[in-house]
Amino acid sequence: MMKKYHPDTMLNSIAVTVAAFAVLLHGVTCLDNGLALTPPMGWLAWQRYRCITDCVTYPDECVSEKLFMNAADLLVSEGYADLGYKYVIVDDCWLSKNRSADGKLEADKTRFPSGIKALSDYVHSKGLKFGLYQDWGEKTCAGYPGVLGNEESDIKQFVEWEVDYIKLDGCYSDVRDMDKGYVEFGKLLNKTGRPMVYSCSWPAYQEDKGMRINYALMAKHCNLWRNYGDIDDSWTSVMSIADYFALKQEFWAQHAGPGHWNDPDMAIPSVSKSQMAIWAVLAAPLLMSNRLSAVRPEFKEILQNAEVIKVNQDALGIQGTRVFRDKGIDIWTRPVEPVHRGNYSYAVAFVSRREDGAPYPYKITLEDLGLNHHIGYTIKRFFLSRKALDALVLDC
């Protein structure tokens, strides 16, 4: 039995692997493009850089080829790529305000003077993957040309640019048509023969309108999908997303698996152990949105925790759930490998939501978490401090 749990700080959480023997094997099927068999990992500009287009005032922060080339450089030089962070994803505001005379998409010539193909080539030269944003609407969310009415010709350009990942937003479109439109767009992507991860936003828009969402259809046609509003760089935002995922978990979790993932959004610049632990248990895409040249050491340590990344990338692809909540303590569990004689191991995230900053003793039994096998348990700590670990006692 666990005698005590002492959170060290208000954001302290741990993810541990518990060898357990009580769950049946779970089978999943994957999207037929064969991609994203584990949650995609990489760097996405939006949360940190939004739509900064003034490169005179903000030369290092505007949405430009320089920003994404630097991100590619730093993913490699700072060790992120070696841990699986492979995608460099351009978000909104890369386009010119109008299409070319022949109806093609064009990058802003001032901010992307070399063009998208050159940027894609640069990212690929670093051994990374290149992602690009578009919108299934007349305009993108920031008012640039969308794909609606030009789907086939735009996808042809994506192939010519050797894009590896498409994020398709849903502004300026009819949510009632998204089930058909997003599916058709995905079919066109697959028809090209070029492997492109397909990130869909349609459930977030339908969820906002209170519509019933066909997740079975989505899992068949999208590699990942956003279910909720955009994250911002705050503890409140992270926990509101976690709470919403917990509210919907019985329905959402069954549709996640290799090739198709629920996406709670990006890892924020001030990423906490709590966010990293919850995202790992949720089998969420790990897409950082930060200034890679200025990541504080404690945040870099969190983002590069190989054991937590291993949980996130677990090959079984089973989304975890919140199983316990009491007095500011949340506990999440996820079945993971190794599987022994048809029974799972488990990743367990203990998350303190308390904001008083003081150590807080809390007693809970493993049986409360559904971990009650008579043989016993082996615990491996990923985030827990030695002091907190010493406060845990297991009776087997």
pLDDT digit string, tens, across residues 218-249: 999 999 999 999 999 999 999 999 999 999 99
Over residues 135-155, the pLDDT tens digits come to 999 999 999 999 999 999 999
Average pLDDT of 168-178? 98
Confidence band (pLDDT; 50, 70, 90) for 128? very high
Q: pLDDT tier at 395 (50, 70, 90 boundaries)? A: very low
- With 80 as the cut, is the pLDDT of residue 352 above it? yes
Contact 316, 334 (CB under 8 A): no
Active site residues: 169, 230
C-alpha distances in angstroms, 2 versus 63, 324, 359, 384, 385?
49, 14, 16, 14, 16
Q: Could you tell me how far CA 228 lies from the centroid of its own chain?
A: 12
Which of 224-238, 241-255, 318-332, 370-384 comes out lowest in average pLDDT?
370-384
Residues of the chain with CATH 3.20.20.70: 41-317
At 256 the pLDDT is: 98
- Judged against a pLDDT cut of 60, whether residue 393 lies above it is answered with no
Question: What does DSSP say about strands 329-340 and 321-326: parallel, antiparallel, or unpaired?
Answer: antiparallel
In the CATH hierarchy, which top-level class contains the domain 41-317? Answer: alpha beta
Q: Which residue has the higher pLDDT, 7 or 45?
A: 45
∠44-56-91 over CA atoms, to 5°?
A: 20
Band of residue 384 on the pLDDT scale cut at 50, 70, 90: low
SS3 category, 302: helix
